[in-house]
Structure 1
Amino acid sequence: MSRKREESGRYTETVTAADVLGVFELVDGPVVTSGDVAEACECSRETARRKLRALEDEGRVASRKTAGRVVWWIVDHDPDNGAPVDPDDPFWDLQPGASGERDVSESVDEILYGQ
């Protein structure tokens, strides 16, 4: 079977990022291997590894080598579930122990014991 080429002469993409991400919904468990992706997308393991690495470079999946195999999982970017910290958030400009008009460290006993 001959692969299709674009006008530029490059081969057309037959396995998309969406195809690879869809494999995570097909397998039992939270991780996939390049073999899982290759089988589901009907491509070579090398193509599957390339696609998974590209998704990892984009921060959409992560990987770990275990027992001689690399396993991949989807990175959760849910803002309510540990989203990456924004170093430009004004929260980080607050001084430690500062609370409103006066420094908490000056009135710990009063705050804790009502004195």
Structure 2
Amino acid sequence: MSRDRGDGGRYTETVTLADVLGVFERVDGPVVTSGDIADALDCSRETGRRKLATLEAQGRVASRKTAGRVVWWLAEPPVDASEINPEDPIWELEPGASGEHTVSETVDEELYGGT
């Protein structure tokens, strides 16, 4: 792949962080590798790894090394504590209760007719 140079002679960025995030929507499975990025965006594996590392530093993806390979996945956005309402009636429910009825307590009866 040939790379374009800008007016100052430096290489121009051809792979954006948004491009890398878009690859997560196009691959099968919940994780990608730098090779997946390279294949999808016609760039080097090193470029893919650097872009993924930048996204990880921003908290947008997470990674783990497994079997000699690093896999990356989309990170869950952190919960903003100010969005939690302690007055919400959900906090009064017993664990496992749905709040609508007691199906969660009688799941076998509901699914199998009492067997």
**TM-score (normalizing by structure 1):** 0.65
* Structure 1: stretches of 5+ with no match in the other structure: 92-115
Q: Which residue of 2 aligns with 1:55?
A: 55
1:3 Cα deviation from its structure 2 partner: 1.9
Q: What is the DSSP-based 3-state SS (H/G/I as helix, E as strand, rest coil) of the residue aligned with 2:63? A: strand
Paired amino acid for 1:31: V
Structure 1's consecutive aligned runs of 4 or more residues displaced over 2 angstroms after TM superposition are: none
* Structure 2: stretches of 5+ with no match in the other structure: 87-115
Number of corresponding residues:
83
Q: What is the DSSP-based 3-state SS (H/G/I as helix, E as strand, rest coil) of the residue aligned with 1:76? A: coil
Say which is worse superposed, 2-11 or 27-36, in terms of deviation: 2-11
Paired amino acid for 1:48: G
1:7 Cα deviation from its structure 2 partner: 2.0
**1:2–1:36 Cα change, 3 Å:** closer
Paired amino acid for 1:74: L
Structure-2 separation of matches of 1:46 and 1:84: 34
Q: Which residue of 1 aligns with 2:16?
A: 16
When Rg is computed on C-alpha atoms for both structures, the one with the higher figure is: 1
**TM-score (normalizing by structure 2):** 0.65
Structure-1 separation of matches of 2:81 and 2:71: 26
1:1-25 alpha-carbon deviations (Å, 9 max, x no partner)? 6421222221110111011000100
Structure-1 separation of matches of 2:32 and 2:8: 34
CA RMSD of aligned residues (A): 1.9
